[in-house]
Chains A and B, each alone.
Chain A
Amino acid sequence: MEGHTSYRTYWMVWVLLLILTIVMIFVEAARLPAAATVLLLTIAMFVKAGMIGTWFMHLRYETRALVLAVVLGTLITAAFLWFLLIPDALATLEMSPR
């Protein structure tokens, strides 16, 4: 699939990425409740990652099979690391003698 994104689009994405980065630095400095900070920053992080993948890495021009394999494949496997290993590691820590 041949895709020609205009140069203008790339630099628009660049501007948006910079704005999001600045917003993130302000959110961190604003001393909001910890949960709000983590939630906002995590959302901004995934939006930024999605923009880089979609426009810079041209995923919007690839077949759906490739996009699903790459994005879901990585996210699901990475989520396993976070949500299965961490609780298990914490439980092991609780049981171990200090």
Chain B
Amino acid sequence: MTQTAAAEAHWKGGASPFGVSWQKLMMWLFLMGDALLFAGFLASYGFVRLASGTWPEQSEVFTMALIGTMTFVLITSSATMATAVGAAQRGDLAKARRFVLLTLLGGVIFLGMQAYEWTNIIHEGARLTHNPWGPPAFSSFFFMVTGFHGTHVLIGVLILAITTIRLGAGKTTEEGVELAGLYWHFVDLIWVFIFTLFYLI
């Protein structure tokens, strides 16, 4: 087949245009939609921040060492997840299971640190409607954005727990691990944006 003919066959849907299983395609579609949820959040945060004129100095409100450690834990859990997927692709399901468990542990540590961060900030008087540092929208966005992300981590931990159990029972395929991995990396990806746009800039 010439290159043009091959391209035509692809774009007319004769072959599988994306070259992936429907499960993986659906996961990507879900992740795109989910990415836009966070894009909406961050865009409205950007607008409100521009419109309010003043914004608290984040390094005075947040403990950067804690946020840095949370980021470290999440990136590390992403690397262990990638290793788990790699092991599953090579057919080493025992190793895949060990690394999924490590990833799950990373997720739990992240959630613990986030709970600690929230507790501190609530003790300092931050609520959805007001906070001691200035524009009320600041703490509102803080709780909404990190809360939605934290919920995603929590759901990720549940998915990883199910994957661990199913791997033990021999029920999860290599692609099952990969799809759980796609979701987990996505949660890490979103954190990259939140970390930069909300905590640093």
Contact = CB atoms under 8 A, between A and B. Distances in A.
A and B found bound together: yes
Interface of A: 1-2, 4-7, 10-11, 13-14, 17-18, 21-22, 24-25, 27-29, 37-38, 41-42, 44-45, 48-49, 52-53, 55-58, 62-63, 65-66, 69-70, 73-74, 77-78, 81-82, 85-86, 89-90, 93
A58 B64 CA distance: 31
Given A14-B75, A74-B32, A78-B36, A44 B19 contact: no
A4 B19 contact: no
Contacts of B17: 63, 65
A63 B19 contact: yes
B47 interface: yes
B1 interface: no
Contact of A48 (B28, B83, B192): B192
Nearest to B87: A7
A97 to B, nearest CB: 15
Residue among A41, A52, A62, A77 with max Cβ neighbours from chain B (10 Å) = A52
A73 B51 contact: no
Residue among B82, B83, B201 with max Cβ neighbours from chain A (10 Å) = B82
Interface of B: 10, 17-20, 25, 28, 31-32, 35-36, 39-40, 43, 46-47, 50-51, 59, 64, 68, 71-72, 75-76, 78-79, 81-83, 85-86, 89-90, 178, 181-182, 185-186, 188-189, 192-193, 195-197, 200-201
Contacts of A22: 68
B196 to A, nearest CB: 4
B186 A21 contact: no
B192 A69 contact: no
Contacts of B32: 70, 73-74
Contact of B189 (A27, A28, A52): A52
B28 A66 contact: yes
Contacts of A74: 32, 35-36, 39
A10 B90 contact: no
Given A38-B201, A66-B28, 12 more contacts: A6-B86, A10-B86, A17-B78, A41-B200, A45-B192, A56-B82, A58-B178, A65-B10, A66-B20, A69-B28, A74-B35, A89-B51
A36 to B, nearest CB: 12
9 contacts: A4-B89, A10-B86, A21-B75, A38-B201, A42-B196, A57-B186, A58-B178, A62-B18, A62-B20
